[in-house]
Structure 1
């Protein structure tokens, strides 16, 4: 039975509230503009950079993001607008605190300072957005903060099992081809060929893969685990693509290896069916317990979401202390980009006989 896409989310600044979309452009690195910005806390000594994310900085839940297209911004380029919601009754809702931050969605890198950053041990070059942005976030987080833009930086996929099967086979072929080419060049004296296939997968500031896919039956199961069956909103799980799971049981996605999305796009030469390779489990942290109204750990059962999952969802031996919810995905390696929309059909085109094992080092 065909499932349907029920929601799409993009997170231009990693860790902050997501933007719900009706239509999304999927590129090799995920939804366009997803997690191209990130925040770090600057800690002494030596101005050490620590990532700002929901599990360690729950105030992330108080920041809303909005993408303003160029057509709505006059002569200006497309912009990202950030609003701080604040908490009623705390003095954080006065105009000086609620003042918005507006930055170009694609900043001019030539005008920015280049720095080296790391996320989950995967290094990249990035660009500081400047003192004004840093001061805006520092005031609202209450700690020295730095905003960075990935730009032309690229993060490597460190988990070997996370690399899609086709890409892994291609890398192996390239290595074999490179060895044979070098041997032939040595024997014949010919110059080695520069011909290569598409480059290896790389990441923006997404954790370990370009996309996260979740299902409604599994979210419903989480709600039923809480005392009184309190609803848990899907946005707490921070997915990119949500499917209704029609005909699938809760947690069936643990074994999904490949999904085919039947797009309703009107792009003339775009194929109707696009493939997502699901390569790894999403292991969860304390961010599930955050109250998005207060920017603090939730009270009562809403603060026990992670605990309720611990009972029987620690199913990945590669991260045996963390429960699993959702699957990481890569767009098909041959796809240069395609459009998906809420309501598009989705089918499981390949399943694994056993669960995959998470192998990103030091996570």
Structure 2
């Protein structure tokens, strides 16, 4: 008994508990300041650059479900939120102010993910394009890969007020891309702990890579080993810059891609032309071109219309509200009647008494919806039927797209007073008033190979 009592005395549980707490209190700050994982590119960029956009916790869309966004007597409709999507189908960046170019909002849809698929038919390629004759690149969206919704994108712009002692002043902007990724074993547990301690209890470990914001120079293309290739986007196959060697192998695993994963940068000298219902040069002031947009440079949504559609969905435990971000608009307006936008032909956004910040657009056609909005932008989980079912049932309104649902409008920036393409730009700001200049009928024209 005496022997046992001596052994027990050696294991003073209070002392052991105190020692464990002391170790944890000591280690936690060390892990935060010196995490046992590689430093993110964003941590380095923070020394010389500033992040573009509005923090999610301060989003203008936090109130998107409020009744105050409905039309009210004495209140003028306005821009509620602005979004760009630097990489097609990934998380967007919310802005307070956006530059409008002939190709749309600055930095929108510059990149697209693609997969190398076996060719089913022969395709025309540009001279010098690097492609395997038995396969071809085809763009990817949330339709095929719903987990793209969890790929976060940030733009970092040079900040003249910042200078790193080690790096000096870095020129040029960057696109930082993050996706959920946790290694196996002990390292993965450490990554999980560091993520939660540094970014909150709901945080998960992430892997990051960066891309240049501006189109690379020939010297950079050669140095980085980039190649040009055709990538199929709907019926087009634009010549674009293949920058797939910048992708970490883990991204394809996370997304669940069946074929080789690539990423392409739109080539400013080989943009896709916009035809169909777009106005001619004499009306818009320029030849309509786009990067990796679906069909037109700018997409507009009406919050009141989103709420009207929401009232038609079959609610269940997976969907009871419709987040406007499901529809990936650039301009989100409030204060209008439901579906008021359906017959717009021309619209202007302005601040009262400030004509220098006016932006004008041709409203070219309605947005015909596919099943992409079934993907929850917050989780990447695809609902089996909604809101596609409600759209097809209640929004089959365009004779040019029978049995399809329409929601939102496709816009083309116009610059009727400018003749120099390099001077064609305007500004959009949250809070600008909506001024509908012309109304009329629309007939959707399907894309066709040219």
> Shorter chain as normaliser: what TM range?
0.7 to 0.9
The correspondence for 1:200, drawn from 282, 287, 304, is: 287
Question: Which residue of 1 is the match for residue 81 of structure 2?
Answer: 7
Larger radius of gyration: 2
Aligned to 1:151: 267
* Residue in 1 that maps onto 2:426: 338
Are 2:181 and 1:82 equivalent residues in the alignment?
Answer: no
SS in 2 for 1:348: strand
CA RMSD of aligned residues (A): 2.8
**What residue in structure 2 maps to residue 358 of structure 1?**
445
Alpha-carbon distance in 2 for matches of 1:345, 1:253: 14
The answer to whether 1:290 aligns with 2:375 is yes
8 Å Cα contact 2:357-2:428 kept in structure 1: no
**Which of these residues, 62, 65, 68, is aligned with residue 150 of structure 2?**
62
Inter-CA distance 349–305: structure 2 relative to 1 (3 Å threshold): same
The superposition leaves residues 37-82 of structure 1 with CA deviations (integer Å, 9 ceiling, x where unpaired) of 1110122362332221011211111111111111169414211111
TM-score by length of 2: 0.65
Paired residue for 1:279? 364
Name the structure 2 match of 1:317: 399
Aligned-pair CA distance for 1:263: 4.2
SS at match of 2:448: coil
- Pick the aligned partner of 1:115 from 224, 229, 235: 229
Alpha-carbon distance in structure 1 between the residues aligned to 2:435 and 2:239 = 38
CA deviations 1:240-282 (Å, max 9, x no partner) are 00110x2x3211211011111104898xxx7343211101111
Structure number with greater CO (CA < 8 Å, separation at least 6) is 1
What is the Cα deviation at residue 117 of structure 1? 2.3
2: CA distance, partners of 1:124 / 1:136: 27
> What are the residue-to-residue correspondences of 1:21-170 with 2, within 5 Å?
21-44=95-118, 46-71=134-159, 74-85=169-180, 98-110=206-218, 111=221, 112-133=226-247, 135=249, 137-143=251-257, 144-152=260-268, 153-159=270-276, 161=277, 163-164=278-279, 166-167=280-281
List alignment gaps of at least 5 residues for structure 1. Answer: 171-197
Q: Gaps (5+ residues) in structure 2?
A: 1-74, 120-133, 164-168, 183-187, 196-203, 419-423
- Which consecutive aligned stretches of 4+ in structure 1 deviate over 4 angstroms post-superposition? 91-97, 263-266
1:115 to 1:107, Cα distance in 2 relative to 1, 3 A: same
